[in-house]
Amino acid sequence: MSETRTTASATVAATPAPGPRVGLASAIAAVAAGQLGRVRVARGPLLVVATVQSLGLVILLRGIVHHHDSRTASAIVAGSAVLVVAFVSLNLLAQRLGALRATTALDYYAALPIPPAAVVLGTAAAYGLFTLPGAVVTASVGAAVYGLPFGQIWLVVPVVLASALVLAGTGAILGLSMPRPELATIAGQLGMTVVLFLGIITPARLPDAVQALRDIVPGTLAVDALAEAFRVHPHWGGVIIRLLITVGYGAVTLAVASRLFRRAVDR
């Protein structure tokens, strides 16, 4: 090897002032803004697709639910509203991160002075915000179709935020852990299907074994919390506990996803 070393450069240069560390909140905001800018064109059609699917379910199932069965009706409406979140936050995020993982795209974020969690949280936040209008429309139309009380419909907002956290975390785990983008897409769609079935069917109608499974499926506790909103006298203690568990579950999934992000870069 014909290497010539400059003897004058044997010393180390003084370290220049490093750029600032970007705080978690600022990084999340910047990532989320970028994500929202990215889907600017596709936002409308995607939201329509996500919402129409849930509205279709609400309307189709109306024909098989007895008029006085408000428990089943509220489960259907709540499950359909959370399905909008699952469609975008779980399914689309799994697809997106699976596609990014298959290219060098994660290098872009990994080479920036931001916490890895900011990438997952920022993307999840953008996708979560994106679902809010569709979930509100589904819950409102559902309540009207089934004759459920509207009084506590505001609960859809914290339910969407909490379920977006856990479903986006799950979507990110699926997207970042699958070896190929096609598998990430399939996993995202399967995940959404599980949320759909276990969300809209009331727990009492499920076999015991599946009931236990239902409780660990991300988002189902948020569905139950929203279903309370359609009762005349909601059990607020239960709502708060379910939402807190959902948020805690979401924090765990996002922590796992952040770790997977680091591992995906260091491939």
Partner 1 sequence: MSGGLAFEVRGLSKSYRRATQPANRDIDLDVPAGEIFGLLGPNGAGKTTLVRQLVGLVKPDAGSVRLFGHDLVAERSLAARLVAYLAQDEPALAELPVRQAIETTARLRGVARPASTGAATGLMEELGLTTVADRPLVKLSGGQRRLACVASALAADRDVLILDEPTTGLDPVARRSVWSALRRRREERGTTIVLVTHNVLEAETVLDRVAVLDHGAVIACDTPGRLKAAVDDSVRIELVWRHEPPRDDSTVDLLARVATIDGRRWSARIEREQSRGILDRLTRGPLVDSLDDFTVTTPSLEDVYLALGGTDDDLERG
Distance CA 33, CA 60 (A): 36
Residues 6+ apart with CB under 8 A from 141: 55, 58
Q: Is 256 helix (H, G, I), strand (E, B) or coil?
A: helix
Residue with tokens 């014909």: 2
For partner 1, the closer CB: 62 or 180:
180
For partner 1, the closer CB: 13 or 209:
13
Distance CA 213, CA 155 (A): 25
The residues of the shown chain that bind partner 1, judged by CB under 8 A, are 1-6, 8-16, 18-22, 26-27, 30-31, 33-34, 37-39, 41, 99-100, 103-114, 265-267
For partner 1, the closer CB: 44 or 238:
44
For partner 1, the closer CB: 106 or 174:
106
- Minimum distance from CB of 99 to partner 1 (Å)? 8
> Maximum distance among all alpha carbons in the chain?
89
Which tokens hold the place of 197? 């079935």
Distance CA 82, CA 92 (A): 14
For partner 1, the closer CB: 11 or 207:
11
For partner 1, the closer CB: 38 or 235:
38
- Minimum distance from CB of 4 to partner 1 (Å)? 5
CB 82 within 8 A of CB 135: yes
Residue with tokens 């977006």: 164
> What burial class does residue 201 get, using C-beta atoms within 10 Å of its C-beta: 0-12 exposed, 13-18 middle, 19+ buried?
middle
Residue with tokens 């006085």: 68
Distance CA 87, CA 128 (A): 10
For partner 1, the closer CB: 33 or 48:
33
For partner 1, the closer CB: 105 or 252:
105
In DSSP notation, 152-203 reads TGGGHHHHHHHHHHHHHHHHHHHHHH-SSHHHHHHHHHHHHHHHHHHHHS-G
- Minimum distance from CB of 104 to partner 1 (Å)? 5
- Minimum distance from CB of 218 to partner 1 (Å)? 26
Which tokens hold the place of 15? 């370290």
